[in-house]
Amino acid sequence: MQEPFADSRTFWGKRRYLLLMIISLSIAFSLVIISMSLYIRSGTIQLDLSRPGYQRVSNQTDPDNISIGSYSSTGTLDEESIKTFEEVLNTQIKKAKSIDAFGGDPLDPNELNFYQ
Amino acid sequence: MSIQNKYLIGIFITALALSFGFNSAYAQKTVLTPDQASSIIANCTPIKNRLDQLHVNDALLRVNRGQLYETVYSKLILQFNKRAQSNNYDISMLQMTTEKFSAQLENFRKDYRAYEQQLDETIKQGCSNGAQSFVDNIDTAREYRNKVYEDIKQLNSTLDEYSTNFMNIKSIILGKQ
């Protein structure tokens, strides 16, 4: 005969809080793995200057690059609006060409002083 | 063995020899003398430090250049094209240059990623696998960096092309008014 106050719950039924914690931690852990792999595989990591070792240059990013206002995609095209666009476009082109980005050959053996 | 079979084997051997020849010509890398190898091992730490410095500087360059091109593309070029199109102007030339720019921007992202990963791996490995392996890794990184440089030159050239096309459409627009 069954005892009147016998606990009839299953093994996991008795450990519901433990189960909740295990499931929560597993979900959190999986999400961290997914987000980290996206962060690395998408190349975002390479644009993240807050990583250790990059902080000393993180304040040297050019805020003007992202602060230029968006040219309106609606409205008529008159002399004034053409002139505005032309000015901003020319400024940006000039800026793009102002430095010889990735030019030079810093990985040349002589530049790296291989055989000193 | 028939003459035909001998002929086929001859062709196969020639093709194989040629392919090895081409492969070795493309895979030509700096081959170190024992003196050079020992010099690199002795200078390994300063060389790695210089690579580290380059790694950081190039990351900053990538961020600044990337932002500049992305901004020009999304905030100026695409917007102007839409506006000109909505005003019923023929923007086929602008559209073509824009697509070219977009493809080049994607190449720039992809090539920089490959270069950065190669340089990172080179720095991590250092001289642990010997001087020759270190130099080979640097040679590959150098090749990848040159690709990034080519991408930048192409992007700048396409911006010039867009500017020329813009001037053409500008004269049409202002001529109508």
Q: What is the dihedral of CA B33, B38, B40, B43, to 10 degrees?
A: -160
Q: Which residue has the higher pLDDT, A76 or B1?
A: A76
Q: Across chain A, what does the average pLDDT equal? A: 89
Contacts of B84 (CB under 8 A, 6+ apart): A77, B91, B94, B169, B173
Is B49 near chain A, with CB under 8 Å?
no
Positions of chain B with pLDDT under 50: 17-27
Q: Is B154 helix (H, G, I), strand (E, B) or coil?
A: helix
B6: contact with A, CB 8 A cutoff: no
In SS3 terms, chain A reads as CCCCCCCCCCHHHHCHHHHHHHHHHHHHHHHHHHHHHHHHHCCHHHHCCCCCCCHHHHCCCCCHHHHCCCCCCCCCCCHHHHHHHHHHHHHHHHHHHHCCCCCCCCCCCCCCCCCC
Residues 11-40 of A with CB under 8 A from B: none
pLDDT score for B62: 96
Chain B partners of A108 at a C-beta cutoff of 8 Å?
A: 142
Residue B7 is predicted with a pLDDT of 60
Exposed/middle/buried for B91, CB within 10 Å: 0-12, 13-18, 19+?
A: buried
Check residue B175 and give its pLDDT: 84
Q: Are B166 and A86 in contact (CB under 8 A)?
A: yes
Residue B12, pLDDT score: 57
A60 has a chain B CB within 8 A of its CB: yes
Question: How many CB atoms are located within 10 Å of the residue A52 CB?
Answer: 5
Q: What is the pLDDT of residue B109?
A: 95
Best CA proximity match to B139, nearest among B110, B115, B112: B115
Please tell me the total number of residues recorded for chain A in this structure.
Answer: 116
Q: Report the residue from B36, B145, B166 with minimal CB separation from A89.
A: B166
Per-residue confidence (pLDDT) for residue B14, from 0 to 100: 55
Rounded to two decimals, the pTM is 0.80
CB pairs under 8 A between A and B: 153
Using a CB-CB cut-off of 8 Å, the residues of chain A touching B177 are 78-79
Please report which confidence band the pLDDT of residue A13 belongs to, taking 50, 70 and 90 as the band edges.
confident
**pLDDT (0 to 100) of residue B20:** 45
* pLDDT band, very low/low/confident/very high, at A4 (cuts 50, 70, 90): low
Task: Report the C-alpha gap between A43 and A58 in whole angstroms.
Answer: 17
Residue A112, Cβ density class (10 Å: 0-12 exposed, 13-18 middle, ≥19 buried): buried
Per-residue confidence band for A66, with pLDDT thresholds at 50, 70 and 90: confident
Q: Break chain B into its structural domains and give their ranges.
A: 1-30, 31-176
The mean pLDDT value for A82-87 works out to 95
Lowest mean pLDDT of A54-58, A91-95, B1-5, B129-133, name the range: B1-5
What is the rounded distance in angstroms from the CA atom of residue B161 to the CA atom of residue B100? 10
- Give tens-digit pLDDT for B81-109: 999 999 999 999 999 999 999 999 999 99
Q: Which of B122, B137, B135 is nearest to A114 (CA)?
A: B135
Determine the pLDDT at residue B78: 97
ipTM above 0.90, yes or no: no
Q: Give the span between the Cα atoms of B131 and B127, in whole angstroms.
A: 6
> Per-residue pLDDT for A87 more than 90?
yes
Residue type, A49: L
Contacts of A93 in chain B (CB under 8 A): 72, 156, 159-160, 163
